Structure 1
Amino acid sequence: MAVFGTNETKVMLPRNIADGMIKETRTLSTIAKLSAREPQRFGETEYITFNDFPKAEFVEEGAQKASTTGGFGSVKSKPHKAQVTMRFNEEVQWASEDYQLSILSQLGDAGQVALARALDLGAYHRINPLTGSVITGWDNYVTATTKSVEIATADADADLRAAVGLLLNQPTSWGVNGVAIDPKFAWSLSNLQTKNADGSPSGVQRYPNLGFGTDITSILGINAAQGNTVSGTPEAADTKVRAIVGDFQNGIRWGIQRELPVELIRFGDPDGQGDLKRNNQIALRLEVVYGWYVFADRFSKIVDAV
């Protein structure tokens, strides 16, 4: 039986391809590497937040209990739909089932990269990956944080320490458990050398575990993930953000709210590239709905001088 039937408008992505896409999305996204995905229902998901840490009270036998200090509120994650639309010659409908499955596999390979990067670009910078423009209607994103360190010296690790200090040296600290690093900053870290007694470079790599900085997994005891989505490139103009550090474990709450159906489109102009019938084409559209909420005050960013 053909994968692309003659009447269906929806075809299900084979489970092995869909599962692989989700796995690769976790691998390719710096957010997904540092922050665990959680189950979410479709629509807004509410999270309870404490305005202050509640304090326990020791109560003597027979004594009255006082009201516990601290209040709570709530925030809501919002759904964000991302889509990938790809065109193929309509003759693919008449090809063998194996060939049609290979087309779906190609769509999955391309989609997993696009959707993983979309998660980072949206949650970090509120960037629309296709156009590179900022989605001004979104007000919840990581780099909205007011905690920022501008690169001022050649010692990249000093900038990282300063960014961590902005988070730890405050009355309420949520801790630091992850850092997302742009390749430019990763290279700066890996290129650092220890110093001789006179202050001159020793020629010995300061952080030998970083190698050339091409696949950093930890730095100074913090889990790390590297990716150019930190700077927003190449989809958008360079944001000048070189690293984002903070509470990735609880400061970003995200999940995938919908399954991964593929829509088979035979008619019309679904992506502004011309009429399908006129061009002897069909289109396959893959959509995923993310949901996330970001506690921006739990992050600090390292930025290049403008």
Structure 2
Amino acid sequence: MPAQVMTEMTFSELQFPGKETTSPSITRLEGKIAIVTGGARGIGEATVRLFARHGAKVVIADVEDIAGNALANSLGPSVSFIHCDVSLEQDVENLINSTVSRFGKLDILFNNAGVLGNQSKHKSIVDFDVNEFDRVMNVNVRGVALGMKHAARAMIPRGTGCIISMSSVAGVMGGLGPHAYTASKHAIVGLTKNAACELGRNGIRVNCISPFGVATSMLINAWRTFDDDEEQDEIHEREVEKTEEFVRSLANLKGPTLKAKDIAEAALYLASDESRYVSGHNLVVDGGVTTSRNCVNL
């Protein structure tokens, strides 16, 4: 088995131990059509799984074709995959149009796709790499704006809909991420508030989520330090534990460890009718970090 495939399988098993084959007694998204960008891995994968369990038909949108198709195939006919680079308008427009053409509507868009950026190119403000800065902003901000634009076009005629975007604790305070990433996540909060103001008259709710650190591939790849000859499954197991231990050391709320499934649950709440009067809100899922400490200068 190729090392890359082994890595994907092992990491998925670490994040989502055991196969959840049964549906919950109350399905909170029954009959809903949802898109999750960046849905092939990490928080996106957890959200796809949870939305599908709660009765939604889910479209995974990602640039990782192998992982995206594998996830869709594993979850059955209610989940499908479309290749989408969220920084390209033609890809985003095709994603929305294809979904509406197939299912007749779009109820939920989760703008989850994002990048942290190359840490080696994001050091001091006096020497950051401009091209890398632009890449992060194109994926994180342009991607969210394009998602909002084309989802709104599909939702406005129906007078209902829900748009959720992924921000971060780095979008709440400084010192929690590289400059480009921090700027992009602040921008997402601003876009969320502005879009909520505009789209409220059309019955469309717009919210975002700001998590603290979750041991996903993106965060692990940014922090990892290992030898090239290590086995890939050993790398992920050790790096997940190492990353979670570091996050726990910074946490204000002691006891639980923040997992991808916790952010998926937050997205489920915002996507469901339980939050039918919630709009323009940034749901911070950080165990109190942003209200209890100063910059940690990560």
TM bracket (short chain): under 0.3
Which structure carries more helix by proportion?
Answer: 2
Give the TM-score taking structure 2 as reference length: 0.24
Of structures 1 and 2, the one with the larger relative CO (CA 8 A, separation 6+) is 1
